[in-house]
Amino acid sequence: MQDHRSYTRREFLDRTTSCAAHMGVMAAASPLWLRGLWTRQERFPVVASEPWGRLEEISEGIWGLVSNPLQDRATLCNGGIVAGRAGVVVIESFASDDGARWMAQQAMRLAGRPPTHVILTHHHGDHTGGLRGAAESVDVIILATGLTRDTVLERGRNAPADVLEGVELIGAGGSTEIDLGDRSLLVVSRRGHTDSDLSIEISDPSVVFCGDLVWNGMFPNFVDAVPDQLSRNVRVLRRREPTTYVPGHGPLADDAAVGAYIDLLDHVEAAARRAIERGITAEQAGEEYSLPDGMEDWVLFSPQYFARAIGRWTSVLDG
Ligand SMILES: [Zn+2]
């Protein structure tokens, strides 16, 4: 066992930004304050709590999952459940079949019926790894863009081709309405975290499931990002009225948290512009990079994330 108290925040951040260890190792260390970071930031009543995450009741019939990847990776990404008279939508199929099954059970328990729809926000494995588990619900319709489906088929480890074949496609560009009788959802085609992202949006109450376009408390993964599009799309999905944002990773966010995240995206862009001016590599700029004031608590899945983010920006800026 680690002596959790032997880590200070500063030491932990130093370790996570400098060592080559991955999230698995971070999870093994998982100092208490860091686990506390997730529980401290509960915004709504918690209706289910497991090692891999918690479900918060955002409003009647709307639940957000905040995964805790530091303890257990069954779900790994965030997502949610939206229930109406005519159906129950689950957002994401999560990292594992067990994670997807658990969410289907929660839909049953909370909404009284299994999922009628599962929406994939983008192709990454932590959002699509549990596709087979998600497809086990009777008559469930799985929705994704064509590019998301094709990329999962190409890149996904053990991608279930039979399940992917049955996916109903959401048109890229524009938005698609899902009518649940007493409530409807807008599935909006966006871009920036990957070449094809979806946000799932509700107007009353105002709730946006952002997929990985928005991260909160964790530095975003730019591996497939189109950074200028990301900045633009996050600004566009931000609303004027008070809104709950379900980020792809980290605690549920309000407008202030999304504002801080936009500032972070701008901060990374500025670091990339400076790197170009000084003629240094993204790797060098990433090593020098530090998070803006007030974000010292943010964690990273991998210490390479700074250089990766700056590198994606420099390739856009260099044309
Ligand atoms: Zn992602």
From ligand 1's centre to the CA of 278, what distance in Å?
Answer: 31
From ligand 1's centre to the CA of 124, what distance in Å?
Answer: 5
From ligand 1's centre to the CA of 88, what distance in Å?
Answer: 23
Q: CB-based contacts of 312: which residues, under 8 Å, 6+ apart? A: 222, 225, 226, 227
From ligand 1's centre to the CA of 86, what distance in Å?
Answer: 30
From ligand 1's centre to the CA of 3, what distance in Å?
Answer: 32
From ligand 1's centre to the CA of 182, what distance in Å?
Answer: 31
From ligand 1's centre to the CA of 151, what distance in Å?
Answer: 13
The span from the CA of 3 to the CA of 299, in Å, is 20
From ligand 1's centre to the CA of 115, what distance in Å?
Answer: 22
What total of structural domains would you count in the chain? 1
From ligand 1's centre to the CA of 201, what distance in Å?
Answer: 18
> Whole-model pTM?
0.90
Query: What string of pLDDT tens digits covers the 319 residues of the chain?
Result: 333 333 344 434 433 333 233 344 344 444 555 655 665 689 999 999 999 999 999 999 999 999 998 888 999 999 999 999 999 999 999 999 999 999 999 999 999 999 999 999 999 999 999 999 999 999 999 999 999 999 999 998 789 999 999 999 998 889 999 999 999 999 999 999 999 999 999 999 999 999 999 999 999 999 999 999 999 999 999 999 999 999 999 999 999 999 999 999 999 999 999 999 999 999 999 999 999 988 877 888 888 899 999 999 999 998 7
The span from the CA of 120 to the CA of 169, in Å, is 10
Q: Which residues span the domain enclosing 148?
A: 44-265
Separation in Å, CA 113 to CA 39, 53, 57, 83: 28, 21, 17, 9
Query: Which residue shows structure tokens 């250089």?
Result: 307
From ligand 1's centre to the CA of 117, what distance in Å?
Answer: 20
User: CATH code at 159?
Assistant: 3.60.15.10
282 belongs to a structural domain: no
298 belongs to a structural domain: no
From ligand 1's centre to the CA of 212, what distance in Å?
Answer: 5
300 belongs to a structural domain: no
From ligand 1's centre to the CA of 220, what distance in Å?
Answer: 9
From ligand 1's centre to the CA of 221, what distance in Å?
Answer: 7
First to last CA, the chain: 49
21 belongs to a structural domain: no
The predicted pLDDT at position 53 comes to: 96
114 belongs to a structural domain: yes
50 belongs to a structural domain: yes
CA-nearest of 223, 175, 166 to 202 is 175
The predicted pLDDT at position 40 comes to: 65
